[in-house]
Chain A
């Protein structure tokens, strides 16, 4: 099953070409595996089970990210996380989580195709995003390893700062992704 869905996978941003570097670069990280995970953050058995399956325990501190190799677990709420894997890795992650958490009161849902991910990086990436985002993106308040769900140009996004350059991964609903991509490309123009 995983094979046939992969073959049919189509990115809504497949034909978009963005600014390519200085001072802002846009790229799509298409089809990253995404699992919505819910469970009790106060339950050691749950934290240990996730750590066994994903290589790292879900972060308990609000709006932070835990990573292990190519897997990242983003905090979404006090009992909710997004487990992100490389493209195509969602099936294996879903089964390992299901096995590791068997018998526990949890929810494990593959939401890979709901959103796509736009990577924005470069010395002016922060300024490009900050123009229409109510989050305080100053490094004092928001730095690499932090994530937040917020609004960007009126669109719901999950924003994850992945590097100090800075670089951000923006998780956006596929149906809003062309709008957001075009908005970002336009926002970056003044810095070119």
Chain B
């Protein structure tokens, strides 16, 4: 069983959560000013690293709150959990 430590509820089973993709992607301030390539980059292109990945998770069958997770995509190990609005922490895989 894979446990995820919800910042509010504590450790809960993975099935209660959903991963909602890469974190810290800022929406462009003025989308109209973007080229098609820049817009496509914002909408579709992700870093997809082998190693530490910063991503958004939601405890959707629990308290339904969003938070950030730093996860090693090689080992699936969760390296850090931090709240929305907080800066990404320094972590080593």
Interface string of A106-123 (1 = CB under 8 A from B): 000000000000000000
Residues of A within 8 A of B64 (CB): 76-77, 149
Interface centre among B1, B15, B61, B65 (most CB of A within 10 A): B61
Q: Which of A44-70 contact B (CB under 8 A)?
A: 62-63
A151 near B65 with CB under 8 A, answer: no
Asked if residues A77 and B61 are in contact (CB atoms below 8 Å), the reply is: no
CB <8 Å contact, A63 and B1: no
Report whether B63 and A62 are in contact in the complex, using a CB–CB cutoff of 8 Å: yes
Whole-angstrom distance between the alpha carbons of A63 and B62 in the complex?
A: 10
> Complex: how many Å from CA A149 to CA B63?
7
Q: How far is the CA of A148 from the CA of B9 in the complex (A)?
A: 8
Do B12 and A63 touch across chains, with their CB atoms under 8 A apart? Answer: no
- Interface range for A: 10 to 19
Q: Which residues of A contact B16 (CB under 8 A)?
A: 134, 150-151
Q: Is the interface of B mostly helix, strand, loop or mixed?
A: loop
Inter-subunit contact A134/B9 (CB<8 Å)? no
| Contact residues in A for B13 (Cβ distance below 8 Å) | 134
* Beta-carbon nearest neighbor of B60 in chain A: A156
Per the 8 Å Cβ criterion, residues 38-93 of B in contact with A are: 61-65
CA distance A62 to B10 in the complex (A): 9
**Chain A's nearest CB lies how many Å from the CB of B84?**
12
The answer to whether B61 and A62 have CB atoms under 8 Å apart is no
* A residues at B contact (CB < 8 Å): 62-63, 76-78, 80, 134-135, 148-151, 156
What would 23 A/B residue contacts be, using CB atoms closer than 8 Å? A62-B8, A62-B9, A63-B9, A76-B63, A76-B64, A77-B63, A77-B64, A77-B65, A134-B12, A134-B15, A134-B16, A135-B12, A148-B62, A149-B61, A149-B63, A149-B64, A150-B12, A150-B16, A150-B62, A151-B15, A151-B16, A151-B61, A156-B61
> Which B residues have a C-beta under 8 Å from some C-beta of A?
1, 8-10, 12-13, 15-16, 61-65
